[in-house]
Chains A and B, each alone.
Chain A
C-alpha cells in the first residue's frame, strides 16, 4: 500500500514537472532567442542552447526604441489609475455600506446593472466623449476612462459589509465623525481587499493594449505594450530584437508578480467568488 502511494506521488511529480515545463517553454524560447543573432533564431536543427550569446541585442533595442519613455509613461498611467481607483472605490464602498441616504439603493442598482456590460460595448461613445473633452491622445484621458470602476466598488463593498456596524456605532458614540470612522476604522481594516484591487488594476493597466491603442497616437506618450507592438511591426524580421524587446516588457510585471504572489492568488479567488 505504501509503495503504491509512493508510486502515485512520483507519477504526480513527473506529470506536474512536465506540465510546468510545457507551460514555461515559450518563455525560455523567448529568452534564448533574444540572445541569438537575428538570422540564427530559426536555425535548423533547432538549438535549445545558443552557441554564442549576444546580449548586445539588448543595448541595440535600447537605442532603437525609447524604452525609458515607454516605461515612464506606463508607470505613470498605472500608478495614477490605481491610486484614483483605489481611493474613489473605498470612499464609495463606505458610502454604500455604512451610510444611509436617499437614493442609495437606486444608485447602487445603476452600478449593478452596468458591471456586466463589457468595456468593448461602450468604448466607442466613451472615446467620442473623451475626445470632445479635448483629452484624446493625452494620458489624462486614458486615466479618466479606466479610473472609475464598478468592479472596484463591488470588491471593496463586499469586504466592508463584513465589518460590523456596531464598530462604527461605538466610534460614533465616542464622538468620531463619519470621515474619522472611515479613516481610522474601516479604511485600515479593508487592506486585504485593497491589496486585491491594487494587484488587479496594476496588472490590467500595465498590460492593457486596446485602451492605449485607441487613445495614444503621439510616440512620446505611448506605453510599453504599444511601443513593443510598434517595434514588432517595424522590425518584423529582426526576430532576436523582437524577443529582446518582449523580454524587457515582461521584466517589471514579473518582479511585481513574484514579490506579491500571495495577493495575486488570493485576488483571483476573491474575485472568482464575487461573480
Chain B
C-alpha cells in the first residue's frame, strides 16, 4: 500500500479508533457482562414474567395478558399488603427525618466527644436486622418485656401488646425502623450542615437572632434539598421493607404486617407462582418509579432556585 501509514486498507487513524474501541470495551466488559446477565436481563425478564403464567417447571410459560395483575388486585391479601406498606411508610418516614435532623443539628455544635455520640447514633444502622429484630422482639414482649414494664411504671395500665396485637404490630416495626435508620440519615444531614456558610449565622447574630431563630430561618431552609433527598430515599426504603418485618412478625399476626415485598417473596418462593409474584414486583417498580420521577422534578426545581 502507499507509504503514508496505510496498511490493509485502513488508515492509521482508523486503526487507532479500533484500538481505542477495543481498550474501552476491555475495561468495561468484566462488569458489563456480569451486569447484563445478572441485573439487566432479570429486570427485562420480570416485565415478561408479569404477563405470563409459570411455576418454574419444565412446562412452558403461557401468555396470560394482564390476568396476573387482575389476580393480585382481586386478592384481599395483596390489597392488604399495599395498605400495610403505606401505613408503615407513613409511620416511619416523618419521625426518622425529624429525629435525624435534630441529632445532626445537636452534633453540629463545637463540643468535645462529637465522634463518640456520632458513633452511638450510627451504631444501630450497622447492626444486623436479625440480631436487632431478636432483641427488640424481647424488649416488646407484652407481658414481661422491658418496654411494657417501663410503660406500666410510668402509669400506663394496659400497655399495647405490640407484635402480637394486629393493631400495634406495625407500630412496633416502625419504632425499630426509626431507631435503626435515623443515625444513617443524621450523617447525611451532618454532611449537608457542614456545607452551610458560617457567614449566614454570623450575619444573623449581628441582627440579634437567637439560636431557635437561626435554626428555623437559616438551617432548615438551607437544608431543604437535603430534606427532600432524605424524604425520597426514606420513602423508597419503606416500600422495599422485608427483613425487619420478616424477623419481627413474619407478616403476622394474621396478615396484619405483611408488606408488598413479603407478598412477592411468598408468591415466588413458597407457592412458586412466578406470574403473580412478578406482577407484584412490577407494582413495586411503578411505585418506586413514581417516587423517583418526583425526585427528578424536585431536583430540577432546587437547581433552578440556587
Contact = CB atoms under 8 A, between A and B. Distances in A.
Nearest to B192: A272
Contacts of A9: 111
Interface in B8-63: 20-21, 23-28, 30-32, 34-35, 37-43, 45-46, 48-49, 56
Contacts of A209: 128-130, 243, 246-247
B288 A16 contact: no
A83 interface: no
B146 A118 contact: no
B27 A27 contact: no
A178 B130 contact: no
A44 interface: yes
A125 B190 CA distance: 39
A125 to B, nearest CB: 4
B284 A102 contact: no
B204 to A, nearest CB: 16
Interface residues on A, range: 35 or more
Interface residues of B, number: 90
Contacts of A250: 127-128, 131
Interface in B94-132: 103, 106-107, 109, 111, 115-124, 126-132
B46 A96 contact: no
Given A95-B26, A123-B281, A247-B131, 5 more contacts: A8-B211, A46-B149, A95-B28, A116-B288, A120-B242
A272 B229 contact: yes
Interface in A92-132: 92, 94-96, 99-102, 104, 107, 110-111, 114, 116-118, 120-131
A118 B121 CA distance: 27
A249 B109 contact: no
Interface string B187-225: 110111000000000000000000100000000000000
A60 interface: no
Contacts of B187: 265, 268-269, 272
Interface in A72-87: 87
* The 4 residue pairs across chains A and B that have the minimum distance between CB atoms: A101-B24, A95-B27, A148-B34, A99-B24
The CB with the most chain A CB atoms within 10 A, among B34, B106, B292, is that of B34
25 contacts: A20-B120, A27-B127, A42-B138, A42-B145, A91-B28, A92-B31, A92-B32, A104-B24, A118-B240, A120-B242, A120-B264, A121-B285, A122-B45, A124-B46, A124-B281, A150-B35, A206-B128, A209-B130, A214-B269, A243-B138, A246-B135, A253-B128, A254-B126, A257-B123, A272-B192
A20 B127 contact: no
B168 interface: no
Contacts of A273: 191
Contact of A30 (B31, B135, B184): B135
The CB with the most chain A CB atoms within 10 A, among B42, B120, B269, is that of B42
Contacts of B106: 12, 15-16, 19
A232 B132 CA distance: 12
B179 A23 contact: yes
A121 B127 contact: no
A130 B34 CA distance: 12
Contact of B131 (A89, A92, A203, A246): A246
